[in-house]
Structure 1
Amino acid sequence: MELHMHSHHWEQRMPDWTVAAVSGFAAGAVLMVLELLWSTIIMGASPWVMSHMIAAIVLGRDALQSTDFSLEVVGVALATHYVLGIGLGLILAAIIVPFRFDSSIGMVLLTGAVFGVLIYLFNFYGMVRFFSWFAELRGWTTVIAHVIFGMVAAAMYWKLEQVKK
């Protein structure tokens, strides 16, 4: 897995925004599945805990009062997760393309992993000021899930970008 470190300088290239959105959407789906598995298998909690936490970003703290299934909560959580995933996929592509981090699968995966760590830090140490209920999710499992998100989004972008050429 060659990284081609020497060839990464800024150049004026535009990302394929459709591919970036699809990649972020797909990576968001992977992250949701990881969160669902983590909350039920590792934490032994209700599978809907994460849905309530994510929906509370939009619906407010009242969404945290229960962990039971609610179609409204799950719908809002899905929409929120996918919108954030797409937005982050667009940002990641805007980083990958002009710096030619898409020159190899190794470099794109490394870029995605670093991006995932930065998302984790932003969400769980920055945005937690506004959404304090996410503080309890700080930890290595959440870091790993975000690294996987970044790597999936980056790898999907890299592969789909090649297919469209």
Structure 2
Amino acid sequence: MHTEIQAETPRGADLKAGALAGIIAAAVFMMMEMGLVAMAGQSPWGPPRMIAAIVMGEGVLPPPASFDLMILMAAMAVHFMLSIVIGVVFAKGVRRPGLAMALMAGAAVGLGLYVVNFYGFTAIFPWFAMARNAISIVSHLAFGMVLSLSYRALTR
């Protein structure tokens, strides 16, 4: 008899869908954040440098906020891994939400992440305080909503 281990928890969460939704939300977030920062007249490489500094140290922070492949790769590794974890946790906390609930849950997750990242983690990563702004709020709200809508679509 062949027994297969599934990524299903007793509550019905689809952890694979949660992880994939986290990846999708991470990609949308990063493109949106960098695009909005560029439209505001700042370097789009600033946000990845702030993320990379979590593992590489403050020495990678701008200025200059220029392109550096190693810094970008470190930022993407951190950002995507955290987003996968957030997606899996999200999957464990919800059951295939309807559209309205997905949007509300996603907005709540995004706003919660913004508060935790820019007010909680500044004790460890003080450079996050410089990104307390509308761009970060909007990008985090979008992350949460894309996460939730992606999870919803992937579990249909």
SS in 1 for 2:22: helix
Q: Please, what is the CA RMSD of the aligned residues?
A: 1.2
Q: Determine whether 1:58 maps to 2:29.
A: no
Q: 1:18 aligns with which of 16, 38, 57?
A: 16
Task: Identify the residue that residue 158 of structure 1 maps to in structure 2.
Answer: 152
Cα deviation, residue 87, structure 1:
0.9
Q: Say whether the 8 Å CA contact 2:11–2:92 is kept in structure 1.
A: no
Runs ≥4 in structure 1, deviation > 3 angstroms? none
Task: Identify the residue that residue 9 of structure 1 maps to in structure 2.
Answer: none
Separation (CA, whole Å) in 1 of partners of 2:139 and 2:78 = 17
Q: Which runs of 5+ in 1 are unaligned?
A: 1-11
Provide the identity percentage: 36
Separation (CA, whole Å) in 1 of partners of 2:39 and 2:97 = 38
Task: Identify the residue that residue 116 of structure 2 maps to in structure 1.
Answer: 122
SS in 2 for 1:114: helix
Q: Which runs of 5+ in 2 are unaligned?
A: 1-9
Letter aligned with residue 103 of structure 2: L
Q: 1:138 aligns with which of 132, 135, 141?
A: 132
CA deviation digits over 1:104-127, x for unaligned, max 9? 111111111111111111000000
Total equivalences in the alignment:
146
TM-score normalized by the length of structure 2: 0.89
Task: Identify the residue that residue 4 of structure 1 maps to in structure 2.
Answer: none
